[in-house]
């Protein structure tokens, strides 16, 4: 709660607030008791002949000023404001947020809970559930995976049948709840420029893309030594490690020789954040069903 560097500032603000309030009240009292003026006009004259009449304000006007003074005292007693004093109500912004979240969960929770009991493939066939799932997706996922779930460079496409970590309901749910961390180590120094190119050509050949046959042959050897540990001897990847399948035409970090060489040389480090602290289990369940439905459309 204490955001001040030293106690001094807390005291400083407290003293200024209290003194100001007291001064306001004293000033009001001084001003409203008696004021020596010329009768009828204030004595001011502008533009040769414009005079201001002295019309006393109604007394209730003064009471309104006093009311603001009492209000500010009450406010500073109940709510935080006087330096570090937290107020007798114990109100905080975080507390209010938590309360509102609690109320919202209580209100909307049943809508999500309705689907929590059914398994993911079943929920993925209910249009109403998918509509809610889509809204959740647009709020929490679309920033990286795009609003059509098609992904972008570095962020996997969730609408195709190619999965880094597995496309089963359980795997998708784990990805959302626990997050994922995919590491491709850099091999630039290990392989050297030419060998990296060779490997890239071999990788291209896996998906049937035109490549240099000599480099492909040399690359195949290196691939077995360096890459097969994660991507598999056949290059089909390993969903335990999140190692992508290299034999399809899905390129997470750009297609073509140059992009692949760069990926081999520099590696990459990607992270899917965990959402279990952000979303309730019921929401994650719905979200899983939505993502699941994208690659397994209901028949």
Partner 1 sequence: MAQPSLAENNNALRSVTPLRTAPQDAGKRGESGKGEVVETQLYAADKKVYPRAVSGWFAAWRWGLVWATQLIFYGGAWLTWNDRQAILFDIVNRKFYIFGLVFWPQDIIYLSVLLIVAALSLFLFTAVAGRLWCGYACPQTVYTEIFLWFERVIEGDRNRRIQLDRAAWSARKLGLKAAKHGVWIAIALWTGFTFVGYVTPIRELWAEVLSFSTGPWETFWILFYGFATYGNAGWMREQVCIYMCPYARFQSAMFDKDTLIITYDRERGEPRGARTTSGERAGLGDCVNCGICVQVCPTGIDIRAGLQYQCIGCAACVDGCNQVMDRVGYPRGLIRYSTQNALERKFTPAQTLAHAFRPRVLVYAGLVWAVIIAAVIGLYMRVPLKVDVIRDRAAIAREVEGGDVENVYQLQVINASERRRMFDIEAMGLPSIHVDGETHVEVQGTGSRLVPLRVRVHVQPGAVARGTHRIEFLVHAHDDPGVFVREASIFIVR
Q: What CA–CA distance (Å, rounded) separates 140 from 165? A: 19
The secondary structure of residue 50, as a DSSP letter, is E
Q: Which of 124, 130, 145, 211 binds partner 1 (CB under 8 A)?
A: 145
Q: Which x/- pattern, by CB under 8 A, does the window 17-46 give for partner 1?
A: --------------xxxxxxxxxxx-----
Q: Which of residues 231-250 bind partner 1 (CB under 8 A)?
A: 249
51 lies in the site for partner 1, by CB under 8 A: yes
CB 294 within 8 A of CB 159: yes
Sole window of 47-55, 84-92, 118-126, 270-278 interacting with partner 1 (rule: CB under 8 A): 47-55
101 lies in the site for partner 1, by CB under 8 A: no
CB 166 within 8 A of CB 294: no
60 lies in the site for partner 1, by CB under 8 A: yes
For residue 15, the minimal CB distance to partner 1 (Å) is 29
How many residues bind partner 1 (CB under 8 A)? The answer is: 43
Interhelix angle 281-295/127-140, rounded to 10 degrees, is 100
Nearer to partner 1 by Cβ, of 146 and 228: the residue is 146
CB 173 within 8 A of CB 133: no
CA 272 to chain centre: 13
Q: Which of residues 188-217 bind partner 1 (CB under 8 A)?
A: none
Q: Which of 14, 81, 151, 186 binds partner 1 (CB under 8 A)?
A: 151
87 lies in the site for partner 1, by CB under 8 A: no
Token pair belonging to 22? 């007291």
Q: What CA–CA distance (Å, rounded) separates 204 from 202? A: 5
Q: Taking the CA atoms of the chain, what radius of gyration do you get in angstroms? A: 34
Contacts to partner 1 by CB under 8 A:
31-41, 49-62, 134-135, 138, 142-148, 150-153, 155, 249, 254-255
């Amino acid at each position: 709660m204490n955001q001040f560097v030293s106690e001094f500032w807390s005291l400083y603000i407290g003293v200024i607030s209290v003194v100001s309030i007291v001064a306001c009240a004293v000033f009001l009292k001084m001003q409203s008791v008696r004021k020596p003026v010329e009768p009828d006009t204030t004595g001011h004259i502008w533009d040769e002949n414009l005079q201001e009449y002295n019309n006393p304000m109604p007394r209730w006007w003064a009471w309104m000023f006093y009311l603001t003074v009492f209000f500010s005292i009450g406010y500073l007693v109940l709510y935080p404001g006087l330096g570090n004093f937290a107020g007798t109500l114990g109100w905080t912004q975080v507390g209010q947020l938590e309360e509102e979240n609690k109320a919202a969960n209580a209100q909307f929770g049943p809508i999500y809970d309705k689907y929590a009991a059914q398994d993911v493939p079943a929920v993925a066939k209910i249009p109403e559930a998918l509509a809610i799932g889509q809204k959740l997706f647009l709020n929490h996922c679309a920033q990286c995976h795009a609003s059509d779930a098609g992904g972008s460079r570095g962020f996997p496409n969730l609408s195709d049948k190619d999965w880094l970590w597995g496309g089963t309901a359980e795997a998708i749910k784990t990805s959302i709840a626990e997050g994922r961390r995919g590491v491709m180590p850099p091999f630039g120094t290990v392989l050297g420029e030419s060998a990296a190119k060779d490997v890239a050509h071999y990788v291209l050949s896996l998906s049937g893309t035109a490549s240099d046959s000599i480099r492909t042959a040399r690359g195949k050897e290196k691939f077995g030594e360096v890459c097969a540990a994660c991507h598999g001897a056949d290059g089909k990847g390993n969903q335990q490690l999140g190692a992508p399948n290299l034999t399809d035409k899905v390129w997470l970090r750009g297609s073509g020789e140059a992009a692949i060489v760069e990926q081999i040389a520099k590696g990459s480090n990607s992270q899917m954040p965990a959402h279990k602290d952000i979303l309730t289990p019921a929401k994650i369940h719905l979200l899983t069903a939505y993502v699941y439905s994208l690659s397994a459309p209901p028949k």
